[in-house]
Amino acid sequence: MLGELVAIGSFYHTMVLINLSLDKITKLYVITLISSTSFGILLDIVDIGSKRNKCIACAFLYTISMTTVYFGAHFELLLLGRVVYGAASSLLHTTFDTYLINEHSSLGFPDDWLNQTFSMLTHSMALVSALSGVIGQTTARFSALGPIFVCVALFLFVTIFIVLSWGKDLSGSRFMISGFVLSMKKLYNASLSNKLVGNIVMLSACCEASITIFTFYWAPWLTSVNIDKYPISSFPYELIFSTYLAGSMVGAYFYQIVQASVGQDNLFQITLVGLSASYFLGAVFHTPLMVFGVSLVIHFFHGMYWPSVGHCRGTVILPEMRSSSLCMSK
């Protein structure tokens, strides 16, 4: 997680410092999204290899992807690196949690301990978020490719560590195209017969599209309003991204604190209204302080959105169709 957060926070900054235009940087981001989504759907269809081997593949693919940045003069190689990055990202958000659950069960730990483990993981993200900004910004001051070097070192270390110390599991390859198609058909039929299911799928698709766009847009947006005051080479993108992550986590914590008293449905409505209002204010105001403040509020509502939509999916969509609903939203 630390390696990925440093990579995301320094992405725009690094690409600008190696003299790529905004048009090319945008193409790299879009290619990453397409790759991540495609490989995510592919992993729902084909389960290849053991869980441990997929974790190794994830870390190794990240290493390869970040290494290609050193060849920034070759744009085609950068594009290929982002395809590999998308594959690694899709593996990260599925295989490590799956391996953890498998090991938890294999070692015979009580089921309720698993909830404590994931709770601790959530809290650990706050520390990791802060570290990513400090590490990324510090290394960026020494070299334009300083954050990339850190990412390569982290991912390579993780690869070697897993190979040497993680136990093997007995999982094998599975081809699940029939189950995937059946699940998609069930979701499609449910969307036609139950408008609430279709609304949730469309609503989540629209909201997550806006989040995906803003995940890239914040950096050139801040640059456009600060270009006369701060040179791009010294602009603290990594620290700002770390601050945004902290804002998102505050939003998630706030959701957990007030959901019982306010109500989850009401919170979801507040989140959607808050996001819409924040995006509108961002389009109206162009002063640096207002832009940063609005962008921080947007990330606060991003943090509230994920548990809110997760509750809605859990309430409305049957368990066997939830994975398909995520694919359809993507």
Q: In the prediction, which pLDDT does 191 show? A: 84
> What is the rounded average pLDDT for all residues in the chain?
88
Mean pLDDT of 108-124: 83
Q: Residues for the chain: how many in total?
A: 330
Confidence bin at 305 (pLDDT 50/70/90) = very high
Domain spans of the chain? 1-175, 180-330
What tens digit of pLDDT does each residue of 60-102 get? 999 999 999 998 778 999 999 999 999 999 998 888 888 888 8
Measured CA to CA, the distance from residue 170 to residue 91 in angstroms comes to 18
Rg (CA), the chain: 21
Mean pLDDT of 286-305: 92
Entry pTM: 0.89
Query: What topology does CATH give the domain 1-175?
Result: Growth Hormone; Chain: A; (1.20.1250)
pLDDT score of 273 more than 90? yes
pLDDT score of 179 more than 90? no
b/e sequence 17-51, b meaning 16+ C-beta within 10 Å: bbebeeeebebbbebbbebbbebbbebbeebeebb
Q: Range with the lowest mean pLDDT among 4-18, 170-184, 201-215?
A: 170-184
Structure tokens at 29: 């981001």
Q: In the prediction, which pLDDT does 105 show? A: 85
